[in-house]
Amino acid sequence: MVNPLTMFTSITLLALNLFITPLPATTGALPEPAVALRPGGPPSIRIAGKGSGDISAAEWDRVKEVDLVGCVAGAHIVDLHVCIKDCKGKDAGYRTKSATLTDGMRGMIKNLPQGTPFTVTVTVNDANGKAWEVPPAHFIWKG
């Protein structure tokens, strides 16, 4: 048989512990998944906040630079290539040594017929000069 005094003591200590233990400070926001807390991650290219898909003329007009996500700290673009297939099926495009889109790149994409695919390829180095592989991003011009 259970001793009533032991049972009463256990319940009292449990209740006191609930009132004494401080509550965690919360801001109302839900915690992010653990994946988001890992440094790096799968590196990828972003244009207008997108990693691929349709790009409208309004979105393209707002874009000044190609963004990187999921890269190591200090990663930066050292070669940017915007490429299309010409009417003979050969690669055509523009290159630059930074993340900034050139006037030639901007004009080439703006002059594409709707539905034309284009690819953005980058070479990325970290702060120590080590090269990192970033997969190309494929987009469709919607005009």
SS (H, E, C) the chain: CCCHHHHHHHHHHHHHHHHHCCCCCCCCCCCCCHHHHCCCCCCEEEECCECCEEECHHHHHHCCECEEECCCCCCEEEEEEEEEECCCCCEEEEEECCCECCHHHHHHHHCCCCCCEEEEEEEEECCCCCEECCCCEEEEECC
What is the distance between the alpha carbons of residues 81 and 101, in angstroms, rounded to a whole number? 9
User: pLDDT tens digits, residue range 113-134?
Assistant: 999 999 999 999 988 888 888 9
CATH architecture of the domain with residue range 39-141:
Sandwich (2.60)
pTM assigned to the model: 0.68
Question: Taking the domains of the chain in order of start, what are their residue ranges?
Answer: 39-141
Backbone angles phi, psi at 20, to 5 degrees: -85, -35
pLDDT of residue 51: 92
User: pLDDT tens digits, residue range 3-53?
Assistant: 666 655 666 655 555 556 555 544 443 333 333 333 456 889 999 999 999
